[in-house]
Amino acid sequence: MHNENIPGKSWLAMVFLALLVSFSFQGSRGLYETSEGRYAECAREMIESGNYLEPTLGYRPHWAKPPLTYWAIAGGIKLLGPSEWGVRFYNVIAFFFTVLAVAYIGATLWDKTTGLMAGLIYVSSPFPVFGAYAVTTDTLLTLWEVSAVLCYIKAYHAMSSAEGKRWIAAMWISFGLGFLTKGPAVLLPLIPVLIWHFQHKPQISVISPLGILLFILAGFSWYLLVCLRHPGLMSYFLGHEIIDRVTSNSVHNHEWYKPFVVYLSVLTLGAGPWLYFGLRVLWQKRIISPTVLRSHLRKGSKGSFLLLWLLLPLIIFCLVKSRLELYVLPIYAPIVLAIARGIYTGAGRTGILHRVVIISVLTAFTLAGLKGVTSYSFNKKDMKALYKLCREVGRDDTRFVSFNRSKLYGLQYYLNGDLRRTSLTGREAWADGSIQEDIRKIRGPGSSRSYVFITDKKEAHSLCNILKESGIDFQRFHDRYWVTCLAEKEAPKSCMPKRL
């Protein structure tokens, strides 16, 4: 029997490492296109307009996601300012409490040592650490899903009916907040919860009127409000955001083999050094054997609950045609718990917790250092680098115009909204107008404002030809990926390329 006398410094190590990997260099890297720029700009426009119910992107209605993530980002911006720190701060909070929730699940299912080891493994795994470095919904969604499962497990082990009902109510609140973060995806853990629950039939009821009411209030109230304000919005949510993502070939990574490429890589390599221990657990416990797997499910072992929590959502993710790596971040928690329990029960010797702490410390410091390295690497997606190029070229009153680039939301965030998107015709859905409209303004009487036209190197030749043919004098500047053209009515006659 394993000793439960855990030194307090081991718990402090887990807390310290969680803070270390989440805070380190969190604001050092610029916002990447497209996701980070999109979420940040939505939050900035909310703050600017004061309208926190109806998200906009590029000052146009944007209903792709419910608003809780935008609210969280906006809160960080108001607290810490419009820096990358402010934008990513919500992920620090979400990651930290997810670590605590994972540890609490392990302690509730088994013992404190397993819980502590699970927290240490989670905090030193590359997948969730770098997931919290990206501005998306997924780290926040993971917090709500793991919290919901934790609440169910606490209800399952409750000492009284009243205590169990309170935990079930908290579970539905967590599901509701997840629904307000990313919609129906948060309900995937409910499938293994219901299967497990009805198989073992504990006294407490999962489907309770109070729980459903709390879920509706927390998760559905915003949907009901905006759908009443905007007729036809419900069909957009159901058609585009749900059905199309499940069935359409126009989404990310729809090919049949992409689950193996997208999901398998992050769920294995994303474990870092813990992959070795995970594979050893699979081999020792023979979990990969269908016979052993069925036996675990029939006996109702706690490990079988983890398998249900992992496999059922993973199967659904594989069947759905829209696939991105961070979609499976919420199901990394049962993997961590299984590894922790496997290490603890299979150790057969004392000192295993000490070894886990050492591995976690070394790995966590390495991950923090890697975050620092990425913050100083040059990347085309880094909109802060493009923003610096634009500011070095333009003046305070310069108008910034992108050409044939449909997004650049991160650049718009840094420019405080002052970005106009143009194309040759201006007829595209994303375009604010045609480039000829801006050229006419430059050539118009009394025009003194300078314009900086922005495009990538593939479109640079086309942009320069349009400006030349229109009789616009300009100066061209470029870095490794981007080209900017400074155009003024009284600009110098040179249009020779310059490198900054």
Looking at this protein, which amino acid is placed at residue 290?
P
State the pairing for strand pair 497-499/56-57: unpaired
Cβ atoms of 158 and 167 closer than 8 Å: yes
Least confident of 70-79, 100-109, 288-297, 448-457: 288-297
**Mean pLDDT, rounded, for 451-477:** 94
- 360 vs 491: which has the higher pLDDT: 360
**What residue ranges do the domains of the chain occupy?**
8-375, 383-499
User: Percent of the chain, pLDDT > 90?
Assistant: 74
Query: At 401, is the pLDDT very low, low, confident or very high (cuts 50, 70, 90)?
Result: very high
What was the pLDDT predicted at 242?
82
Contacts of 170 (CB under 8 A, 6+ apart): 147, 151
Q: Which DSSP helix (H) or strand (E) runs through 487?
A: strand 482-487
Query: At 220, is the pLDDT very low, low, confident or very high (cuts 50, 70, 90)?
Result: very high
Q: What's the pLDDT tens digit per position in 223-280?
A: 999 999 999 999 888 887 788 778 777 667 778 888 999 999 999 999 999 999 988 8
Contacts of 439 (CB under 8 A, 6+ apart): 466, 467, 470, 472
Query: At 496, is the pLDDT very low, low, confident or very high (cuts 50, 70, 90)?
Result: very low
What was the pLDDT predicted at 253?
78
Query: At 444, is the pLDDT very low, low, confident or very high (cuts 50, 70, 90)?
Result: confident
* Secondary structure of residue 57 in the 3-state scheme: strand
Give CA–CA dist 253/225, Å, rounded. Answer: 33
Whether the per-residue pLDDT at 492 is higher than 50: the answer is no
442: nearest Cα among 399, 403, 393, 390: 399
What was the pLDDT predicted at 488?
79
Contacts of 102 (CB under 8 A, 6+ apart): 115, 118, 119, 122, 146, 333, 336, 337
Give CA–CA dist 14/465, Å, rounded. Answer: 59
> Which regions of 199-330 does DSSP assign to beta strands (E)?
none
Distances (CA, A) of 281 to 2, 284, 286, 289, 298: 18, 5, 8, 13, 20
The reported pTM is 0.93
What was the pLDDT predicted at 1?
41
